[in-house]
Structure 1
């Protein structure tokens, strides 16, 4: 999807840096050249000029490290629900939705990258909200991003608890395993830059791929265990709840601004985005088709539970790194949002951002502690956590992954240029549809998730808070 830029000259414009000149020479496209010029016109870089005096340098990632982070954050837990989605809505609908939503997620991710190039000071959704709607937009989108990510961290605490309980047959109180998961995540969140975590992301990706392959081999050896439906006839609420699982599997966009901000060359972000979307869409299709083809109507979620007891323990043991590391990435993004908010004012950042000062490190550690303490409490206190996560995802992932990119596109495209050519008319119609899609997903997802919570209370299917009962898969 093309992004139209405004080539007007501003008195605040500054000369292109050497990296920007290389980009212009390398690509040679007028649209990209105008876009890069506009980067310097619209604002400051979030981390400023990282000269030799900076003890902590943030913009150190090459594109493949950003891709590794995005893969670890996106694929980790999302892939585990895909086979049960296929079991709910059928093989054909499952394949169509995985491919269709994946293509749209690629387009929306590209627009997020374009928005970041246009406004280099944008580090998170709060910054983007300020551009769109002033201080009110900043507070609304900033709060939404923090709430959403903390609940994502809570989902990793809960999944870690289930993994430990499954591996040990509930050898200890499940609250202990939740605390262990939260503490480990906290410790790995302490590094201040994403560059080091990107290496852990490679381990995370290998971990989840290995666990999934063990599961697929296990169900293949066990043979066909249930009938496979090509299509399904579900009521709206359960069908849409399954669709939200696919949307959640593509919900990594909430962290894209932070990832781009720490890249050496932000204009390389499309490479990382395409690597992510091609890989995760392919994996979702393979895992969904293979596991559902063998387990049929007996498919359970998370997908690692579809094998026998021994293989299930092995798969969860191998998957533990990705459960931890993907949670760490989300926690880091949330902590960095708050940290930047504290130490950056009107483009001027405090020395505590780039130095090993006591104030900087104690603030960072306190923020990380608060995030993982909240994640632990939320995961333990709320008896219908998974359904509540569905509510949160409907409220926020629908917009962060899809709807808000349409708003970004309209903000970057002047009214006078939206209907000038056939391509621009198609773009305008498409991005209008994306905004409506975000609104529809939000309303439909809220209805389906709330209905599921009510059904759970009627059936008495929710555990109590801080329970020691074994929550592992048996």
Structure 2
């Protein structure tokens, strides 16, 4: 009997190397889970970051996701047809909701995750941190650049090309830089409310303008397109939902990260319904010749009015991405470039001792500064 028990134990035991790997993986996983959230204990901190309610996070997510790009969706219906276009907008909205929920569950499992670089380190180690961090920064930089470009286009429309576009772009850069100064997302959330009102008003003006003009009220259920053109139209829809790169940072500044699903549902309910409504209504009246953005299908006067009202969303939507990118640079204090002399941000000092830290960048020897 004792021999039978011993045999069963030997049959169920893992090989020694596999058992060691399993124990090592468990220790690493436990180590990740034991790490505290990025801002730690804020009871004695002068600047408190974990201050947002779920609806404030939701408004930031709405402002970051919905901007003038919504007015490019009618051209998607013109390229694909109204039936497949609406199906794709709704379907990708469901996919965006699910993937956003998965990010929230990942964040709850690993509270220290503050950006895509942290997630990449968990998935692929140090190499993953570099790849995911670089990808996130490139994405955010190009998004910010697109908003500066849109700002220059807006000033060109309002001023009838009054001066060089580079000058207008530089003005947009300065305005965005000033709006990025608030250190907490709670303060940015107040700006996001203004951005939401701005884009809603601009969209209503565009719909009214196109409805009055009715440049080409011809609608097609389906359209035969070549694969490259159809693929380009689908990427416009995908980009309309591409706010996920910033979600980890938003969750980090919630009072209770467990309320994040409410913020996500607020975002997805607003953006999916707006995308479908705006795309269908404008396409219904502007027809197959609708421009992208759809403001080009209205009169010059209405273009100026809409662009003027859209100034807050043009700026603030880009500012939110800039805010997240700046905090990624600060957080990179723990993972600086491995060279003799590195430039790093003293984010921990800014958070823990705001009386002695002023948010400046410092140069220090990597070998002496620690991690």
Q: TM-score range by the shorter chain?
A: 0.7 to 0.9
**CA-to-partner distance for each residue in 1:114-146, whole Å, 9 max, x for gaps?**
000000000000000000011000000001000
Q: Aligned residue for 1:111?
A: 102
Where structure 2 has 5 or more consecutive residues not aligned to the other structure, the ranges are 1-25, 337-345, 363-371
Aligned equivalent of 2:36, options 41, 44, 65: 44
Q: Which residue of 2 aligns with 1:180?
A: 171
Alignment match of 1:82 (pick from 73, 77, 81)? 73
Q: Secondary structure at the match of 1:361?
A: coil
**Alignment of 1:243 onto 2:234:** yes
Q: Where in structure 2 are the equivalents of 1:10-89 lying within 5 Å?
A: 41-51=33-43, 53-89=44-80
- What CA distance in whole angstroms lies between the structure 2 residues aligned with 1:124 and 1:117? 13
Other-structure match for 1:361: 359
**Does the 8 Å contact 2:49/2:253 carry over to 1?**
yes
CA 1:355–1:81: 2 relative to 1, 3 Å: farther
Structure 1 residues 72 and 349, CA, compared in 2 at 3 Å: closer, same or farther?
closer
Q: Given that residues 39 and 117 in structure 1 are in contact (C-alpha distance below 8 angstroms), is that contact kept between their aligned partners in structure 2?
A: no
**Segments of 4+ in structure 1 off by > 3 A?**
10-13, 38-42, 354-360
- Rounded to whole Å, the distance in 2 between the matches of 1:41 and 1:239 is 43
Q: Which residues in structure 2 correspond to 1:10-409 (within 5 Å)?
A: 41-51=33-43, 53-342=44-333, 350-356=348-354, 359-363=357-361
- How much does 1:357 deviate? 5.3
Task: State the Cα deviation string for residues 215-250 of structure 1 (Å, max 9, x = none).
Answer: 001111113524211111110001100100000000
Do the aligned partners of residues 61 and 237 (structure 1) sit closer, same or farther apart at CA in structure 2, a change above 3 Å counting? same
Give the SS at the match of 1:350. Answer: helix
> Using a 3 Å threshold, how does the CA distance of structure 1 residues 268 and 39 change in structure 2: closer, same or farther?
farther
CA contact (8 A) 2:71 2:279 kept: no
TM-score (norm 1): 0.66
TM-score normalized by structure 2?
A: 0.84
For 2:195 and 2:31, locate their aligned partners in 1 and report how far apart those are by CA, in whole Å: 34
CA distance in 2, matches of 1:204, 1:238: 31
Bigger mean CA deviation after superposition, 304-313 or 348-357 = 348-357
Give yes or no for contact 1:57–1:354 (8 Å, CA) kept in 2: no
Q: After TM superposition, give the deviation of residue 42 of structure 1 in Å.
A: 3.7
* Maintained 8 Å contact 1:39/1:120: no
Within 1, Cα distance between the matches of 2:39 and 2:98? 27
Determine the C-alpha separation between the residues in 2 that align with 1:207 and 1:39.
45
Cα contact 1:161–1:177 (8 A) shared by 2: yes
Seen in structure 2, the aligned counterparts of structure 1 residues 11 and 182 have a Cα distance that, compared at 3 Å, is: closer
Contact 1:226/1:295 (<8 A) preserved: yes
